[in-house]
Structure 1
Amino acid sequence: MSDTTGPALILVGPPGAGKSTVGRLLAMAWGTTFRDTDHDIETAAGRSISDIFIDDGEDAFRALERAAVATALAEHDGILALGGGAVLDEGTQAALAGRRVVYLSVTLAHASPRVGLSGNRPLLVGSPRRQWQLLMEARRPVYTSLATVEVNTDNRSPEQVRDAVLAEVSAP
């Protein structure tokens, strides 16, 4: 790990992996704060991510996402959860190098009930299950290449996932 300042721990993974839920639990365990870049984007835009995609398109959303991630990496020192696709940006990948990144992995069978794979997920429109699988084919290699630790969330409660992360990563 480098001497880079910023988040104590960064969570990455697909929708339904539990990044926000587990992130809050980790923040409580370490006595620090939690931040989610998807929430940052919605707050800054004053709209939901789904509305941004519909009204402005994916390119506009990704620009907001890049800015939100860069800001959070510079300002936040607690637990940070990134949106599922944030890691696809090469600048974000470079900014994550040398940081403590935990990839929360999940299979479709376990992600589906957690997120519902519904219309409020803009990249899952059409055939949500098939779209999720295609996203994961593209994203899984990036998640694994960036991660210092991978924790599978299948068949685990959020508390069990927190405990698995804590067993792998020491407090800052």
Structure 2
Amino acid sequence: MVSESRPVAVLVGPPGAGKSTIGQALADALGVAFHDTDTAIESEQGCSISDIFVLDGEPAFRALERAEVARAVASEPGVVALGGGAPMDADTREVLAGHVVVFLDVGIADAAKRVGFDGSRPLLAINPRATWTRMMNERRPTYEAVATVRVDTAGRDVADVVAEIVEHLGAAR
């Protein structure tokens, strides 16, 4: 059990990398809480992220996201999963400095299976495969820059990915 008030690990990566699923399984394996910043924003706002994008615009969502990430990284003692775009914000990158940040890497084939590209993700609503590929090409350098650990999730089951992350966390302590 962890007694610090900072995350054991912060998960970053694109839509479909498995941040929520792997994050929950990792938290369970470590015996700590799991916190998903997107879920927290939806709960606080009383509507979906898609609705926030439509009603208030992306800049409004990013401001909410920036604040929630800063709060979570400062006070959540377990595993924290960030939305895919969160690390693109310079303030968020500063907040992540000094933390164990796990980049869950994935290719488009696996991401498509996991996400389904069904339009529920606002940034992937139009031509989802091309948009995801472009987004990943733009975001990859940032994910790699903020990460202390990179784990490829493509073609792997959750237990295998969690075991690799636990192994990295053990080596980091």
User: Structure 2 length as normaliser, TM-score?
Assistant: 0.94
Structure 2 counterpart SS, 1:135: helix
What amino acid is the match of 1:71? R
Which structure 1 segments of 5+ residues have no match? none
Distance in 2 separating the partners of 1:80 and 1:15: 15
Q: CA deviation at 1:5?
A: 5.2
How many Å separate the matches in 1 of 2:72 and 2:168?
A: 23
CA RMSD of aligned residues (A): 1.3
The residue type paired with residue 24 of structure 2 is R
SS in 2 for 1:119: coil
* Structure 2 gaps, min length 5: none
- Counterpart position of 1:136: 136
1:12 equivalent to 2:12? Answer: yes
Partners of 2:43 and 2:5 in 1: CA distance? 24
- How far residue 68 of structure 1 moved from its aligned partner, in angstroms, is 0.7
- Residues of 1 paired with 2:167 and 2:7: CA distance? 19
- 2: CA distance, partners of 1:148 / 1:74: 18
Task: Give the whole-Å Cα distance in 2 for the aligned partners of 1:54 and 1:134.
Answer: 22
Query: What is the number of equivalent residue pairs in this alignment?
Result: 169
1:76 and 2:76 matched: yes
2:123 maps to amino acid: L
Instruction: Report deviation, 1:8.
Output: 1.0
For residue 106 of structure 1, report the CA deviation from its aligned partner. Answer: 0.2
Pairing 1:38–2:35 present:
no
- Give the fraction of aligned pairs with identical amino acids, expressed as a percent: 51
- Counterparts of 1:74 and 1:148 in 2: how far apart (Å)? 18
Q: Which runs of 4+ in 1 moved over 4 A?
A: none
Structure 2 Cα separation of the partners of residues 23 and 119 of structure 1: 23
Letter in 1 for 2:119: G
The 5-angstrom pairing of residues 77-156 of structure 1 reads 77-156=77-156
